[in-house]
Amino acid sequence: MSTKLYVKLSIVVISFLLFTYFVYPSVKFQFLMSKKEREELQLKDPVQYNRLMDRSLRLGLDLQGGMHIVMEVDIKALLNKLAKNKDKRFEDALNYAEKMATERDEDFIDAFVTKLESSGADLARYFGTRKLRSRGEIIKYLREQVKEAVNRSLEIIRNRVDQFGVAEPTIQKVGDHRIIVELAGITDPQRVRKLLGETALLEFRLLKAPEITVKVADRINAYLLGKAAADTSAQTKSEAKKDTAVVTGEELFGKTQEDTTQDTTTVAQEEEGLL
């Protein structure tokens, strides 16, 4: 056997051994072991189970199957929650924007604002505050609220997906208000839909502006301070009246002067008798 052929054969054998070493855990975990055997191994020897799972290849949706889910934030419900006032023009604008976003893939906020202003309504009537007065400020605020809703949903979905034990799930934001979730190897799609559907429901509550809260607190403090001052004044007057009724100036000084005169006369008489 020539040296050149020996080298080639050695390379093939070594490559085959390395291939077998790295591929065997995947073959064993994915194909040789049943689902029941994997569950038993996870309960009896978690360390061995995790080691075997880490060394096995991650099969994607194309090889293993699973779920591909596209989720979307309900902007209509969000704007409905954020609005301070509602009327027919507001409802018509929401329905129009929803239709345009679904059928023509138009931007929901742009379609909503266009329809609302075409009916003669002002954005400030529905979303205006002391800090949000101009048209540009309100539109910017609405877009920020949509963005925050998507980011919160994205974080919550990531935490929920961890419950399924899926290796390397794909969760990413697409566009301004869509989230794509890919879960390989999922065998209970109904449970996934239920859990993710509940996760995507977010509730928004309007809070009073900070300056209003500060004013209310100042009024409460002023009322309490005024009441405390009135109680202190009344108590002081009552104590002064009580002290004046018990001891008078005449009783203090008139009686003392009389007693002093009497004592002086007595002492003088006694001294005169002695002399």
Beta bridge partners of 115: none
Angstrom distance (rounded) from CA 16 to CA 24: 12
> Tens digits of per-residue pLDDT, 214-242?
777 788 878 777 766 665 665 555 554 55
Alpha carbon dihedral 126, 105, 157, 180, in 10-degree steps, equals -170
Angstrom distance (rounded) from CA 140 to CA 110: 11
> Tens digits of per-residue pLDDT, 237-255?
555 455 444 444 454 445 4
Angstrom distance (rounded) from CA 229 to CA 220: 14
- Evaluate if residue 174 carries a pLDDT over 80: yes
Angstrom distance (rounded) from CA 183 to CA 162: 11
Q: Please give the pLDDT value at position 156.
A: 86
- φ, ψ dihedrals at 81, nearest 5°: -75, -35
The answer to whether the beta carbons of residues 73 and 59 sit under 8 Å apart is no
Angstrom distance (rounded) from CA 10 to CA 174: 49
Task: Calculate the alpha carbon distances from 143 to 117, 176, 232 in Å.
Answer: 17, 9, 54
The pair of structure tokens assigned to 204 is 């928004």
Angle at 108 between CA 102 and CA 109, to 5 degrees: 175
- Evaluate if residue 33 carries a pLDDT over 70: yes
How much is the pTM?
A: 0.53
Angle, in degrees to the nearest 10, between helices 75-82 and 88-103: 160
The pair of structure tokens assigned to 267 is 């002492």
Q: Please give the pLDDT value at position 76.
A: 92
Angstrom distance (rounded) from CA 120 to CA 87: 13
Cβ atoms within 10 A of the Cβ of 170, count?
15
